[in-house]
Amino acid sequence: MGTSLNTPAALLQSELGASLKGRDFLALADYTPEEIMFLIELGVALKKTQKSGEPFQPLKGKTLGMIFEKSSTRTRVSFEVGMYQLGGHALFLSRNDLQLGRGETIDDTARTMSRYLDGIMIRTYGHRNVVELARGATIPVINGLTDLSHPCQALADYMTIFEHKGKLQGLKIAYIGDGNNMVHSLMLGACKLGMHIAVATPENYDPDEEVADIARDVMQQTGATYTHHRDPREAVKGADIVYTDVWASMGFEAEQAAREIAFKDFQVNAALVKHAKPDYLFMHCLPAHRDEEVSSDVIDGKHSIVFDQAENRLHAQKAIMAAIM
């Protein structure tokens, strides 16, 4: 599934690297297992190059427009720094900076921005906004997050697991909590990469059934499995990775009190992780609400790799930008 090439330049000049030029990055479902693994290996290579102090700037003179309808810490900083390290420039655009907020269509915005920029990253609410932007643009569009999916985070997560475990195929990842955008991208990535994903959610907070159907279709070709549980202990049993996210994602804060009741048995804590493998890894996409969805002793414990994940947003997104722009 992988490639033996190990420098960023060699990877980008390979046949697979060249084939990604000009593509959108909207969902992991749009990419083959080989293409996802290529981006992970490119991310690892870019990370090594950066840490060795060797400048690698394939995007010199290029500009990424970053549309933020949802606020962010990790997404803005990692994309902005990533473009700088690749030799390009990132332009921050809030909804107030664009005519989108005053009624201009997404299609007109996309066609106009395509005349100025070399790529667009958008972090928004409705997934349809990203699809429409990509349809209207003649430059690559990157999904920085929607209510349906978070593919950049999932790519960084699988890069992090690959670094720690040396492989992805055959590993089991257990996701505990809300059936949100994060679990959707994790499900699609796991099924593409031949992993086993077990999801535990309370009633009325299940993953989107259309996404689950896509995952089921994919896993028939890769040997992956997807199972859904009501009991977190069943999901975590024998897991290599235990993953959780906040109970109320951005935009759902008004439901916080109701969700605290619904999710009270879904905290990832010392008692729950005893059901995982002894060398399990704990992951969280951050920001975390300590002692809510995860106990402090777990997120700050020796199995936690949450800040490796956070760092790898930079390197995985650099891989995406370098490959498609």
Catalytic positions, written as ranges: 123, 150, 153, 245, 285, 313
Strand order in the sheet with 281-284: 225-229, 196-200, 172-176, 241-244, 281-284
Cα distance between residue 13 and residue 9, in whole Å? 6
How many distinct helices (H) and strands (E) make up the chain? 14, 9
Cα distance between residue 43 and residue 2, in whole Å? 13
Cβ contacts of 281 within 8 Å, gap of 6 or more: 161, 164, 165, 240, 241, 242, 303, 304, 305
Contact indicator for 90, 109 with CB cutoff of 8 Å: no
DSSP state of 102: G
Give buried/exposed letters for 163-194 (b at 16+ CB in 10 A, else e): beeeebeebbbbbbbbbbbbbbbbbbbbbbbb
> Considering only CA atoms, which of 158, 130, 171 is closest in space to residue 27?
130
Contact indicator for 241, 174 with CB cutoff of 8 Å: yes
CA 143, 146, 150: angle at the middle one, nearest 5? 65
Rounded to the nearest 10°, the torsion over CA 281, 309, 299, 289 is: -140
